[in-house]
Amino acid sequence: MAKRPPIPLPLKREVRQRCGFGCVICGVPIFEYEHIVEFSKTKIHEADNITLLCSRHHRQKTSGRLRTKDVAAANAKPFNKNKAFTSGEEFGRLSSDQFIFVIGSTRFPCDIKNGVRWPLLFLDGEVQLGITRDFSHLLLDIILFDDRGNIILVISDGEILISVGVWDYELVGQNLTIRSAAGKISVSLILSSEQVRLERGTMIGQLGTKILVEKSKMIVESSSFSGEFADGTQKNGCIILYPGGMNITSVGQNGKIVSRGFLSTYQQVLDKLGISGNRLIDALRYGWAAYRLTLAANAQRANKGELELASKFGQRAAEIYTHHQALPEAARAWFDLGNIHRFRGAREEAIMAYRMALKTPPAMYGGIDRAAAESNLGALLIENGAMSPESLTEAARLLESSSHTYRAFEGETPSHAMRSEISRNDELIARLQRLVASSEREPPRDD
């Protein structure tokens, strides 16, 4: 028996385009090529006799449960004809163990709690790339555009939709490709159970910020910034991009700031975006603004009104993270809020915020971050110079713990910043000892 020849590639493309890139019966974009009249009878590949069927309808036709004339009728009027997008279809459930998303040269290892929708790329107030944990699986979210700004691919909760208006789309094995013309690839996405790699694609935010992905590059274009995004690994982190003065911010467990920019447009951007949607996304919006203002205050560039706004944003972010038990993020949000209150001169509010940060177990919020919270809280407790025995004891415990951590890290990675923190703590401890000695000499009050 002669081997059946493969369907020529140009013929496959002609069939895909005619059928609207989906099953002619239900429209889903994951399909198989099927001869309407069996190839065993025609002995030839002809475009008019080839159609697209999903695996379910393909099985039904092969088993005789779907009549040939019904397939021919659907082929004459494909389900996706005159539609903007194909029907949705599950695009595979990703493994939750050791899963990595790669975009350009930036890697996102993902390990998140069940039910959490975590944004990996937050562009102009919208999640352009994200992951949701669904028990033992991860579901992908992504929106991609063509170079004219039209949406051409959407994956939402792991369900894929393709624009029927593209020139060509195909999914072969793990490789998804969308072309805007012959030889011009708009999207190249490689999917496996443990890794998704975006090798080519365009993401555009509602305020005009654009990301172009080309192989190992991720190029960012906005009204005030154009350049290649830095390499890096964002574990359970998020890249946040806005136009105007706020160029590129990368926040996550490493707290990395790629580009700081200015604060002149933060209020108008937040006003334009509003505060809505997923609660953890809300926290990122609030927390991002508060964190930027904390940096500005540190550099003495934020005025009183900005710090008041930052305290409001920071409080909301910390509350949302705490409510969702996103403990490392909550602890950092409370710590940032404590810093904002310190810059505002609001001592009692700062003490409360630092104490909230330190409620998180050391296993989830430890190291230098925890030492800084302990040191700042200890300093605030002795700031007045008039303390209760309980406050003296708490301050001593905090400063001792902070100094122990700082000295351990200083031994591993000596630095000027670490020596400065140790020196500050030594001064605080000396001041505390003087306060204790003074309180012991003071005669009891005769009330």
From 2-11, 170-179, 273-282, 430-439, the region with the lowest mean pLDDT: 273-282
Highest mean pLDDT among 128-137, 162-171, 212-221: 162-171
Q: Check pLDDT > 70 for residue 271.
A: no
pLDDT in tens, 93-148: 676 566 788 887 777 777 766 666 666 776 665 667 877 777 777 888 888 988 88
Global pTM reads 0.56
DSSP bridge pairs for 201:
213
Q: Give the per-residue pLDDT at 328.
A: 75
pLDDT-wise least confident of 128-137, 175-184, 212-221, 288-297: 288-297
**For residue range 303-317, what is the model confidence (pLDDT) as tens digits?**
676 677 778 777 877
Write out pLDDT tens, residues 233-243. Answer: 544 444 555 43
Across the range 376-404, mean pLDDT stands at 77
Tokens representing residue 278 in the block? 């997923």
Q: What angle do CA 295, 297, 302 make, to 5 degrees?
A: 115
pLDDT in tens, 3-17: 788 999 999 999 999
**Confidence bin at 189 (pLDDT 50/70/90):** very high
Asked if residue 361 has pLDDT above 80, the reply is yes
Instruction: Tell me if 379 sits within 8 A of 425, measured CB to CB.
Output: no
Predicted confidence band at 345 (pLDDT cuts at 50, 70, 90)? confident
